[in-house]
Structure 1
Amino acid sequence: MFSPYYAWSRDKDPFDHCAMNVVLYGRPGRFAMTERKSGRLSRGADHIAIGPSSMEWDGSELTVHIDERGAPLPRRIRGTIRLRPSGITAGPFHLDPGGRHRWWPMAPASRVEVDLTHPGLSWQGSGYFDTNDGDEPLEDAFTRWTWCRAELPDGAAILYDVKHRAGDGRNLSLGFAFDGTRRDIRPPLSASLPPTKFWRMPRETRSDDGRSRVITTFEDTPFYSRSLLASTLAGEPVRAVHESLSLDRFRNPMVRLMLPFRMPRPL
Structure 2
Amino acid sequence: MSDDGRHGLTVIAFLGSVFSPYYAWSGWRDPLDHCAVNVVLYGSPGRWAMTERRRRSVIRDARTLAIGPSSLEWDGTALRIRVAEVTAPLPSRLSGTITVRPEGITPGPFTLDAEGRHRWWPLAPASRIEVALERPALRWQGHAYFDTNDGDGPLEDSFRSWTWSRSTLRRGAAILYDVLRRDGSRQDLSLRFDPDGTPRPIEPPVPAALPRTLWRLPRATRSDDGAAAVLRRFEDAPFYSRSLLSARICGEPVQPVHEALDLDRFRHPLVRLMLPFRMPRAVT
Matched, 1:12 2:29: yes
Give the CA deviation at 1:28. Answer: 1.2
Aligned length: 266
Name the SS for the 1:21 alignment partner: strand
Q: Are 1:88 and 2:97 matched, yes or no?
A: no
Equivalence for 1:106: 123
The residue that corresponds to 1:234 in the other structure is: 250
Query: Out of 168, 172, 183, which is 1:155 matched to?
Result: 172
* 2:256 alignment partner, SS class: strand
Partner Cα distance (2:103, 2:46) in 1: 29
Q: CA deviation at 1:11?
A: 6.1
Amino acid at match of 1:80: T
Q: Which residue among 106, 131, 143 is the counterpart of 2:160?
A: 143
CA distance in 2, matches of 1:8, 1:227: 30
Q: Give runs of aligned pairs for residues 179-258 of structure 1, distance below 5 A.
A: 179-197=196-214, 199-258=215-274
Question: Structure 2: any 5+ residue segments left out of the alignment?
Answer: 1-17
Quote the offset at 1:57 in angstroms: 0.3
Corresponding residue number in structure 2 for 1:45: 62
One-letter amino acid of the counterpart of residue 133, structure 2: L
> For the residues of structure 1 that align with 2:64 and 2:218, how far apart are their CA atoms?
37
Tell me, what secondary structure is at the counterpart of 2:264?
helix
Verify the 8 A CA contact 1:86 1:179 in the aligned structure 2: yes
Deviation of 1:228 after TM superposition, in Å, equals 0.3
**Kept in 2: contact 1:89–1:182 (CA 8 A):** yes
Instruction: Please give the per-residue CA displacement for 1:95-115, whole angstroms capped at 9, x wherever unaligned.
Output: 011101100000000000000
Q: What CA distance in whole angstroms lies between the structure 2 residues aligned with 1:192 and 1:44? A: 44
- Shift in Å, 1:10: 4.3
Scaled by the length of structure 1, the TM-score of the pair is 0.98
Give the residue type in structure 1 aligned to 2:91.
P
Measure the CA separation in 1 of the matches of 2:107 and 2:211.
35
What TM-score comes out, normalization by structure 2 length? 0.93
Q: CA deviation at 1:75?
A: 1.2
181-190 vs 83-92, which moves further: 181-190
Amino acid at match of 1:224: Y
* Mapped contact 1:139–1:248 kept (Cα < 8 A): yes
Q: Given the alignment of the two structures, is residue 169 of structure 1 paired with residue 186 of structure 2, yes or no?
A: yes
What is the letter of the counterpart of residue 241 of structure 1? V
Displacement of 1:186 after TM fit? 2.5
Report Cα offsets for 1:130-150 as digits up to 9, x if no partner: 011111100000000000000
RMSD: 0.8
- How many percent of aligned residue pairs carry the same amino acid? 64
Partner Cα separation in structure 1 for residue 185 and residue 115 of structure 2: 13
Look up the SS of the partner of 2:255 in the other structure: strand
Q: What is residue 133 of structure 2 aligned with on the other side?
A: 116
Assess, with a 3 A threshold, how the Cα gap between structure 1 residues 234 and 38 changes in structure 2: closer, same or farther: same
Counterpart CA distance in 2 for 1:176 and 1:266 is 39
Amino acid aligned to 2:198 = T
Poorly superposed stretches of 4+, deviation over 3 Å? none
Is this contact kept in 2: 1:186–1:234, CA < 8 A?
no
- Counterpart secondary structure, 1:35: coil
